[in-house]
Amino acid sequence: MKNLCFGVLSVFLVLSSGCAGGPKPIPESLAPQIDKTVSFEQLLENPDAHVGKLVVLGGQVLQATRLPDATRIEVLQLPLIDAERPSSQRTSSQGRFLAYEKTFLDPATLSDQPQVTIVGEVTGIATAKLDETEYRYPTIAIKHIHVWEAQAQNQQSGFGVGLGLGGGGGGFGGGIGIGTGF
C-alpha cells in the first residue's frame, strides 16, 4: 500500500513539473537590467526621455519587414499579464511600437501575427504613415524576443492533475485523474 501511494505521488509530481517547463519570455541575464518603472504610456508620451533604458513590452505582431541592415517589426502593444504574456484583449492596447532586430530574422516566421514579449533598449521615435495620418512609433532595439505559441495566445487552456487516496472499512482505494481543457 505504501508503495502504491509513493508511485501515485511520483506520477503526480512528474506530470505537474512537466507542465511548468518551457522557455522563459525574459532571460534571467536581462531581468535585473529592465527598468520596470517605464510604462508604455510614458514611452508614447516622450520616447526620447527613455533612450538607452531596457524595457519589456508585449503585443501582437502586425507586420515584419526585412530591411538592408535589420528586421523591423510593427507591434500592436498589449499589456503583459501572467508569465509576461501579452493580453489577448486587443482593445486594451495603448498604441503601436517598432522593434528592430539586427541579426537576420525572416519575416515569414512572424507572418501569422503571433504575440510576442520583447526585451529591448529604447532608441527613440520614428514617424510613419498609419492609414491617412502620421503616427509616432516608439522604437526599440531587440535584445530578446519571445514568440508565443498559437495555443498559448488564442485559447485559454488548462491542464489539471488530480490525486485521490481514500480508505476506510478495512479497504484502501486511490485514483489519479489527468485532463486538459480548452
Q: Is the pLDDT of residue 169 over 60?
A: no
pLDDT band at 25 (very low <50, low <70, confident <90, very high): very high
Q: What is the mean pLDDT of the chain?
A: 81
Domain residue spans in the chain? 32-149
pLDDT at 165: 46
CB 18 within 8 A of CB 101: no
Q: Report domain 32-149's class.
A: mainly beta
Summarised one tens digit per residue, pLDDT across range 32-69 is 999 999 999 999 999 999 999 999 999 999 999 999 99
The one-letter code for the residue type at 115 is Q
Better-scored residue on pLDDT, 79 or 166: 79
Tens of pLDDT along 112-159?
999 999 999 999 999 999 999 999 999 999 999 999 997 544 444 444
